[in-house]
Amino acid sequence: MKIQLINPNTSVAMTASLAEAAQPLLRPGNQLLAVTNGSGPASIEGHYDEALSVPGLLQAIREGERDGAEGHVIACFGDPGLLAAREIARFPVIGIAEAAMHLATWVATGFSIVTTLGRTKVIARHLVERYGFHQHCRGIHAVEIPVLALDQDPDGLRRIMRTACLDALARDESGAIVLGCAGMSHLATELQEELGVPVIDGVSAALKMVEMLGELRLSTSKRGDLDFPLPKPYAGFLRGFAVGG
Amino acid sequence: MKIQLINPNTSVAMTASLAEAAQPLLRPGNQLLAVTNGSGPASIEGHYDEALSVPGLLQAIREGERDGAEGHVIACFGDPGLLAAREIARFPVIGIAEAAMHLATWVATGFSIVTTLGRTKVIARHLVERYGFHQHCRGIHAVEIPVLALDQDPDGLRRIMRTACLDALARDESGAIVLGCAGMSHLATELQEELGVPVIDGVSAALKMVEMLGELRLSTSKRGDLDFPLPKPYAGFLRGFAVGG
Amino acid sequence: MKIQLINPNTSVAMTASLAEAAQPLLRPGNQLLAVTNGSGPASIEGHYDEALSVPGLLQAIREGERDGAEGHVIACFGDPGLLAAREIARFPVIGIAEAAMHLATWVATGFSIVTTLGRTKVIARHLVERYGFHQHCRGIHAVEIPVLALDQDPDGLRRIMRTACLDALARDESGAIVLGCAGMSHLATELQEELGVPVIDGVSAALKMVEMLGELRLSTSKRGDLDFPLPKPYAGFLRGFAVGG
Amino acid sequence: MKIQLINPNTSVAMTASLAEAAQPLLRPGNQLLAVTNGSGPASIEGHYDEALSVPGLLQAIREGERDGAEGHVIACFGDPGLLAAREIARFPVIGIAEAAMHLATWVATGFSIVTTLGRTKVIARHLVERYGFHQHCRGIHAVEIPVLALDQDPDGLRRIMRTACLDALARDESGAIVLGCAGMSHLATELQEELGVPVIDGVSAALKMVEMLGELRLSTSKRGDLDFPLPKPYAGFLRGFAVGG
Amino acid sequence: MKIQLINPNTSVAMTASLAEAAQPLLRPGNQLLAVTNGSGPASIEGHYDEALSVPGLLQAIREGERDGAEGHVIACFGDPGLLAAREIARFPVIGIAEAAMHLATWVATGFSIVTTLGRTKVIARHLVERYGFHQHCRGIHAVEIPVLALDQDPDGLRRIMRTACLDALARDESGAIVLGCAGMSHLATELQEELGVPVIDGVSAALKMVEMLGELRLSTSKRGDLDFPLPKPYAGFLRGFAVGG
Amino acid sequence: MKIQLINPNTSVAMTASLAEAAQPLLRPGNQLLAVTNGSGPASIEGHYDEALSVPGLLQAIREGERDGAEGHVIACFGDPGLLAAREIARFPVIGIAEAAMHLATWVATGFSIVTTLGRTKVIARHLVERYGFHQHCRGIHAVEIPVLALDQDPDGLRRIMRTACLDALARDESGAIVLGCAGMSHLATELQEELGVPVIDGVSAALKMVEMLGELRLSTSKRGDLDFPLPKPYAGFLRGFAVGG
């Protein structure tokens, strides 16, 4: 089974590090197809960036399908374009925020989200409501480090994250940490050991969910609102996005 | 005050009819700037269409601002790109679903939404939750007519809409109808007379809200999560969307 | 169009200052009919005051209608008697809490309410739930100044309000301030300039909404639960309130 | 212990029949003080009637307290003026809608409300939300009989109620019936026998809750928002309502 | 009327002190049947303890019924086995958390819960959601004293509880305290005098509710999901729990 | 990795068929440890049965751990004892209702539950609320076949299930079916082919989630409310359940 890991921002470096962290998690026989969004923002730190990451992401999904992918992971904590992706994809699509939050409720009665910039907290907040976890998510916290700066000072980041997580666990009386950015994936294992609580990285969670759906032969329902898009003309620089017809 | 009315789909005909209906509603001295999305789907009937209407819509907003618009209306019932638009715009941005639902709660304790295709009901459903109106929205109904077919048989449409609205009012025990598609705007007045209940067209509602915000000198808060997007490089066919820097 | 601005408390001074602030906001040709509640409490600072402001308020609405008003604003942040008023009025009725909260969601993803006495916070809290904005209202704060003391020390009030708003914005991570009392209306503009965020005064917001509904020829649905009251005898000192018959 | 049973409408006949039904339920030694609202509507069938029943009701509470009542029941299913009454009363105040809904959740996982006119359903609906029982209340149904017509055709009423309750139990898959009007109290016992499910009359439930609070020496908290009203002048025909000072 | 007070933990001492506190509250003629759970944990401080208190508790209910009890109180703040107990019991069953929370909403617009160990807060939190009181419960606080240590240092406990309650009232801006453990019952009266707010002990509240249901001839609905369990074989050390058949 | 599949009822036949269906789903190298509850009800069809399935289930978990299990599945749609199990288990515990509902939201925007007896619907209803899926679960339906009768007339069951699912999809406008009983597991594949929508069996879903958690080295947080139970004496026929100490 080939699984496509899509980095919705255009940072090739981040894609590489995501792939490096994800590769060892795949089950024997499964294959990782890590791709970087070809068009859009270098990082996603607001609604504008997020909206503009979607066309490239949808294109990537169609290409991935063409390249034999049988499942897709959207590796940005805002789960950009998730439902749109489910409409066009034949195979399962999982977002990392969704994956991390769902998983968190299986290992704790309450979780805290630790993300990058405060301005992105509203995105997590809206997802918590959409997914139905307002009783489980006890707090959303920001370390105020831009996405692309996450890898600039690894030690500093570790220190800051450790402090932020400890503070979140105490203030929220929560039992698990959800990492609020794909760029934090590589910190999960170490933080988990240090903090002694589950630290959940949505990227690995989503990969496993896609593998799981594949093994269960389950995919997006094509009955009703997630059916393939209706055929129709598309215009302008997006004319190539027309489907079917 | 110049107000931009953006049709997020690429149908010039629909834009024209929206403008025709909207023009007379404007206050003396105000000016309508009706624009059609230059790129994207001919009609918006799902998450995929909706997501792909956003880049063109955001571009239109920036152009509108350049052309002196001091407010923007997003004329699609899914309110595509609403928060992204608020991030980049200096002036108010209102979506027609938002406008219609808010207004409906001022004239009735419960309302019904009548929209086009059943597959779009989930979009309305999610907006109802996001906006907080699950206690006010008593039902969402579809006439199963594609957006672009709405103007093909005017008399048939009137008949079908009348029946659907009567049925909705009865089944939902609601006091008002919210039209679930910009393409239904021209039916509001006639339906309202026939049904004897408020029939709310989001396009006119949103226009009035933009006028209102302008007169009150209120616009999107630039404190926190709706602040202007952070400057950063954009790549690929969206490279032109980079802001600031 | 003649719009009636009703001050539900009996303070003529407050009515005058409300009228003074509201007058310039009216559209050319529209006329303000500012009235003071003829019977009830000098100020509304609890459920008891609020309940007893309603008969006079309903009487005012009927008189206003007789005097040609085509819309009504209830200028108390508890929105006293709102649904009762909608039942008897032919024309739109808007409450200022309702108006301010709705508007706040158009310019920010989260807002804070700053009101007078702590004991009135529960009223705002209940309205937030009723209107469906518990996801948008991030906090309710009180400056502990009685309504009628608001104009006693203008400079002191400004200082206290500024501090309270800054504190609310910081603690709630909100993007806009909703003024929780009609008596604070005159502070909106200045506070907005000082704080650099939308500061929303429900009185002006409600006036504009009434103008807007008038222009859209929309009024309270008379289908179902907001229909005119059923004719029936009334007894005692309220015997004059019997309708129809 | 003297308990005041207040009929918020002005129908002396209804008060008498409520008293007759309630009397035998009182514990030995307790005394019933049944009073009819001296001013307001002959029946309460909407927001307007309800709002105008409150002043007389509050007056009744103060008189009741003067006459030695140590608890008060508001015998109208809309619980008019409940929080205002709690502000002025030293002793417990219970509304019959509140009482019936609370009790229903102790004997069934889901209940149905059967009330008089459809136009009053919204009042019950709002109370269900306010009290937090939207997961427990599975349906609200109306028999479309005006309050004051309830006693005109006893046999017809029984038949209609029986049918409405059976229909509600089946459609809602509920386990108990909540009678949605004080005027239905006398039907509870008979209906309960016929239907074989708990049929809950709020009047008797509220009386018992008041007795219970008295025995537990518990009354309304005077800390915070239900404290006695602040002293202040009252004007007009309500001038007599000024408290303290 | 004989009322069974069940202590779901196995501490005979606690049962004795509960009985001592409850006895004087019973109405003349009513009789208290206080029993200690014969099997299970010495104290209930988590989901595991709670689950294992249920079989003994259900057995106690059947024995109580055999001994003529016409109502049952489950005296543990987690309301263990409440719905299961309602299935097998012919007469009313009330849990003390349920009782205390319901009652709290009759005397205050918001309440705070003060319980024993922080690890049990999640149980109260889940009950608040299940019962529908998330708008009324403004905070849950723990004094971090194990259930069985509550009676070891009476003066210390009083001091700690007083401080915790004052802190809760201030932080939550609430009007009443709900005691979060049966073992705190004996503190209610004294705390109430000291704090000047209602301090609600679920044990006495539940007893009164059972008396009340008895007087109203109301009991658990046997229509639908609380009907007597279906007859079926039981195996293992629980084989004795098979019903009917 | 050894995974324990626990059938909370005492039917050995059902355990065997669950094991048969589950076995092929396990990943190479993983091992299934299918056990039947040694004490409790032959089937779980209400709160009473459910509560009494828990002790045996908790015992099974401890034995499973002793036998080297590194994960546990609770194969009853009520998820009996889930949080208690998480307290005592070192390794992940997943309930099948939880598993099926979570998974359903990844493949559809709305799902329907089809279960056995109507009286068990309330259990599913409560879980939907607890897990946060009231926006996703569009309906709960019962075929009114007792759990142990599910295998008596395989063809009849297929027919009935097919009809019930089609009816649910149509009435709920949902995109996926969640099977509401472990005893329906064997129908999933066939129904999915017939209906053309995802038909989700919680048993296989839960197994995969346990495998997934194992591979991610994630387990229940032992910080806070899911920590191992506090050591304390246990009495009576449950004395063996005392932990630690």
pLDDT over threshold 90, residue B243: no
Contact F22, F56 (CB under 8 A): no
Confidence bin at F152 (pLDDT 50/70/90): confident
- Note the pLDDT tens digit of each residue in C171-217: 999 999 999 999 999 999 999 999 999 999 999 999 999 999 999 99
* pLDDT per position as a tens digit, A188-236: 999 999 999 999 999 999 999 999 999 999 999 999 999 999 999 999 9
- E53-84 confidence digits (pLDDT tens): 999 999 999 999 999 999 999 999 999 999 99
Residues E10, E40: contact at Cβ < 8 Å?
yes
**pLDDT, tens only, E104-161:** 999 999 999 999 999 999 999 999 999 999 999 999 999 999 988 888 888 999 999 9
pLDDT at E157: 93
Mean pLDDT of B164-190: 96
- Determine contact: C227 vs chain D, CB below 8 A: yes
CA nearest to C58, candidates C245, C243, C244: C243
Band of residue D244 on the pLDDT scale cut at 50, 70, 90: confident
C31 CA to centre of own chain: 18
Residue E233 CB partners (closer than 8 Å, separation 6+):
E239, E242, E245, F10, F41, F42
* Summary mean pLDDT of chain B: 96
Burial class (CB in 10 A: 0-12, 13-18, 19+), B170: exposed
Q: Is the pLDDT of residue C148 over 90?
A: no
Per-residue pLDDT band for D147 (boundaries 50, 70, 90) equals confident
* CB contacts < 8 A (E, F): 176
What is the average per-residue pLDDT within A54-71? 98
Kindly state the percentage of chain B with pLDDT values over 70: 100
User: Residue C30: which of C213, C211, C203 has the closest Cα?
Assistant: C211
Helix axis angle, B202-215 to B96-107, nearest 10°? 90
Identify the pLDDT of residue B222.
97
**Is the CB of A230 less than 8 angstroms away from the CB of B46?**
yes
Question: CA-based angle F108:F110:F114, to the nearest 5?
Answer: 105
Of F70, F2, F1, F60, which is closest to residue F36 (Cα–Cα)? F60
Q: Is the pLDDT of residue A148 over 90?
A: no
State the pLDDT confidence band at F227, using cuts at 50, 70 and 90. Answer: very high
Enumerate the β-bridge partners of residue B7. B36
Contacts of E221 in chain D (CB under 8 A): 107-108, 175-176, 197-198
pLDDT of residue E56: 97
Q: What integer is the mean pLDDT of E204-217?
A: 97
Chain A interface includes C189 (CB < 8 A): no
Binary contact (E122, A110; C-beta < 8 A): yes
Element (H, E) at B164: helix B154-172
Q: Using H for helix, E for strand and C for coil, what is the string for chain E?
A: CEEEEEECCCCHHHHHHHHHHHHHHCCCCCEEEEEECCCEECCCCCHHHHHHHHHHHHHHHHHHHHCCEEEEEECCCCCCCHHHHHHHCCCCEEEHHHHHHHHHHHHCCCEEEEECCHHHHHHHHHHHHHHCCCCCEEEEEECCCCHHHCCCCHHHHHHHHHHHHHHHHHHHCCCEEEECCHHHHHHHHHHHHHHCCCEECHHHHHHHHHHHHHHCCCCCCCCCCCCCCCCCCEEHHHHHHCCCC
Q: What is the pLDDT of residue C228?
A: 97
* Residue-level pLDDT at A150: 85
Mean pLDDT of A16-28: 94
A131 pLDDT more than 90:
yes
Compute the average pLDDT of residues B135-155: 92
Average pLDDT, chain D: 96
B199-216 pLDDT, tens digit each: 999 999 999 999 999 999
Partners of residue A125 in chain C, C-beta under 8 Å: 135
User: What's the mean pLDDT in C116-139?
Assistant: 97
Residues 82..141 of C with a Cβ closer than 8 Å to E: which? 118, 121-122, 125, 129
For chain C, domains (ranges, CATH) are 2-95+204-241 (3.40.50.12500), 97-201 (3.40.50.12500)
Q: Which residues of C touch A129 (CB under 8 A)?
A: 135
Find the Cα–Cα–Cα–Cα dihedral C76, C78, C84, C89, rounded to 10°.
30
Residues F52 and F41: their CA atoms lie apart, in Å, by 7
Q: Note the pLDDT of residue C162.
A: 97
Residue closest to A6 by CA, chosen among A93, A116, A88, A101: A93
Q: What's the whole-number mean pLDDT along residues B48-65?
A: 98
Whole-number pLDDT of residue C15: 96
Task: Give the pLDDT confidence of C70-114 residue by residue, as tens digits.
Answer: 999 999 999 999 999 999 999 999 999 999 999 999 999 999 999
The C-alpha atoms of residue D2 and residue D34 are separated, in whole angstroms, by 10
- How many Å lie between the alpha carbon of C221 and the closest alpha carbon of chain B? 5
Q: What is the mean pLDDT of residues B10-15?
A: 95
Per CB-CB distance under 8 Å, the chain C contacts of E173 are 118, 121
Question: What is the per-residue pLDDT for D216?
Answer: 96
Nearest CA in chain A to E123: A109
CA angle B60-B65-B68, nearest 5°? 125
Burial class of residue A134, CB neighbours in 10 A (0-12, 13-18, 19+): middle
- E159-189 pLDDT, tens per residue? 999 999 999 999 999 999 999 999 999 999 9
| Chain D interface disruption, residue of C54, C123, C239, most D CBs within 10 A | C54
Percent of chain B with pLDDT over 90: 95
Identify the band that residue A147 occupies on the pLDDT scale cut at 50, 70 and 90: confident
pLDDT at residue D152 in the model: 87
Nearest to B118 among F109, F135, F173 (CB): F173
Q: Which residues contact B42 (CB under 8 A, 6 or more apart)?
A: A232, A233, A234, A235, B9, B10, B11, B148
Rounded CA-CA distance F87/F220 in Å is 8
Q: What is the mean pLDDT of chain F?
A: 96
A199-200 and A176-179 strand pairing? parallel
How sure is the predictor about B181, in pLDDT bands with cuts at 50, 70 and 90? very high
Question: pLDDT, tens digit, for every residue of F103-116?
Answer: 999 999 999 999 99
CA E198 → CA D223, E30, E107, E232, F16, distances in Å? 9, 26, 7, 46, 56
For residues B217 and B211, what is the distance between their CA atoms, to the nearest angstrom? 10
Q: Is C81 helix (H, G, I), strand (E, B) or coil?
A: coil
At residue F151 the predicted structure's pLDDT band, cuts being 50, 70 and 90, is: confident
Q: Please name the amino acid found at residue E68.
A: G
